[in-house]
Structure formats: C-alpha cells, structure tokens
Amino acid sequence: MTARHPEKVNNIDSPIQKKPAWIRVKASYSQEYAETKNILKKNNLFTVCEEASCPNINECWSKKHATFMIMGDTCTRACAFCNVKTGIPLVLDLLEPKKIAQSVKDLNLLHVVITSVDRDDLEDGGAKHFANVISEIKQYNNKTTIEVLTPDFLRKGDVYKIVADAKPDVFNHNLETIPRLYLKVRPGSRYFQSLDLLKKVKDYDSTIFTKSGLMVGLGETKEEIMQVMDDLRIAGVDFLTIGQYLQPSTKHYPIKNFITPEEFESYKLIAEGKGFLLVSSSPLTRSSYHASEDFDILKKKRINKLI
C-alpha cells in the first residue's frame, strides 16, 4: 500500500505484520456493493469506509450500509494511526447535507452514521454542518435514526450543543487509545478533552445515547484499558466498541500485537460488568460496524432498564 502520509511516525518505516487467520477478510463484490458505490459516486460523497480503508467495507456495502464522511476528505490533523489524508481542506460544500439526505433515501437506510474529518480551520469545528446534515436527513427520512461520530471540537467552546440540539439518536466520539499513548498516536488531541466532551453531551441531553471506541494492539496493557472503561462509565457513556488496530502503511504507527478473539471476549465481559448498556468487542469491530443492529439492541436495553 502506498503511504498517504509521509509525515506519519516521523517518517520511520515500520514493517506491516502478517495478519493472523482470525482477522483476514475475504474480498467479495455483490450487486448491492456496486449499487452502493454508484449511489455514493453519483452524489460525490466521501465515506470513512473508503478513506480509512475499513476491513469491513465489502460486507457493509453489500448490505447497502455506509458511513458518510462529511466536510471533505482532508483532515487538519495527522493522527499516527489514521489513513485519511492530512492537509488544507477545501471550503465546505453547502449542498452536502441535501446530498447525504438523498443518498440515505436512495439506500433506504433505517439507521445512518455520519462522521467527519477534523476541521480545526473552522470556527465551530464543523458543528453547524453536522447539525445541517442531521436536519436534512430528518426532513427526507423521518423514520431513519441518526448516529454521529464527531471530532473532539478542541478549543471550540460549547459547540457540541449545536450538534446535540439537532437531536441525533447517538453521539459518538472515539477515545481511540489510552492516555499514555496519546502524544504518539493522537498528537493533535487530548485524552481528557475527548472524555469531557462525552460527559458534557450526556449532561446536556441525557436522552441521547453516547458511545465511544478503542483500538487495541498499540502497546496498551489490560489494566490501562480497564481504567479507560472506568473513565467512560464515569462520563456516562452507554456503548463501547473495541477493535484491533490495523496498520494502514509502513509510515503509520506500528502494530505492537494482535489481540486474540478470546481476549476480546474477556474485554467484553469486563466492560459489561462495569455497566455499559452495550459492548461490541472483536478483532473486526469498528465504530459503525453493525451500527443499525446495535442501535436496536440499545433501545431495547434502555426500555428494559426503565421498566
């Protein structure tokens, strides 16, 4: 794979380890996959499925599921794990909210995930654009539930309220890794800013499900992951995803180890014991993988909890 980020990891080559059998994905392209691709191409939209080289793209697109990535394909940050390109973004496409809404309708989505690049160049970090996308989807698809996966809005004040006021059903922001690794893995982000964002959203509107995700295999310890789980529960987070980090290129942060399916199951049991409403933990788990099915489970669990 050609490196898209020569600045990653100080330009040091880190050989990509061979994947174990339990994490290999077989490529397959169905008619539904082609239809999904055509709908996205027709509306000139970006997806995190493509831009972040998600290993589940074939399965999801064959089900006509896609995670829309708004505000362009260029990020203002250079996280050492991410395959989205870094640089100076283009101006916002003001027609993008309508294009997203039309694509959701064309794909007949009952649940949609909207994420974005970091846009530190914008005064509100893109919060208003998120809100516009949510509003347009609701206007044209009133039965579709909406999940947003937002940036951290670092140094942008309380702009998270703009997104929350648009009433997404799920507000997701990924911590990605443990505090000790932030300077190496997420140098442009701050652990406690991300954690505080999730807490503030839940405090501001407790009816919105909150969600966060972690990558493992970066050199963290089990005890450090358990501490992050505790931090997330204190912040009131409902849903946790845990997946294996996969190194996009030799220029990205190196994989330290592959976590076994048995270890992922152990993490799931520990997290459930700490009180998360829902936990998805497996080698191929990603933030939006099986998001629609997971949202249905979340709703049922909340109802049962209230009863």
> Sign (positive/negative) of CA torsion 247, 252, 257, 262?
negative
For the chain, how many structural domains are there in total?
A: 1
What amino acid is encoded at 241 in this protein?
A: T
Residue 39 located in a structural domain:
yes
Whether residue 162 lies inside any domain: the answer is yes
Residue 223 lies in a domain: yes
* Residue 10 located in a structural domain: no
* Domain range for 113: 27-306
Residue 122 · residue 90 · CB < 8 Å:
no
Tokens linked to 204: 């501001």
**CA dist., res. 213 & res. 279, Å (int):** 10
202 found inside a domain = yes
Q: Which two tokens stand for residue 225?
A: 């992951």
Q: What pLDDT does residue 5 have?
A: 46
Rounded Cα distance between 60 and 41, Å, is 16
- Indicate whether 7 belongs to any domain: no
Q: What would the pLDDT profile of 53-90 be if each residue is shown by its tens digit? A: 555 555 555 555 667 889 998 999 999 998 888 999 98
Give a yes or no: residue 84 inside a domain: yes
- Residue 168 has what pLDDT? 97
Amino acid sitting at position 291: A
pTM score:
0.87
pLDDT of residue 26: 62
- Average confidence (pLDDT) per 10 residues, the chain, 307 residues: 43 78 68 68 64 54 69 93 90 94 87 93 98 96 92 97 97 97 96 98 97 97 98 97 92 94 97 96 81 72 63
Q: Is residue 250 situated within a structural domain? A: yes
pLDDT given at position 43: 66
CATH number for position 191: 3.20.20.70
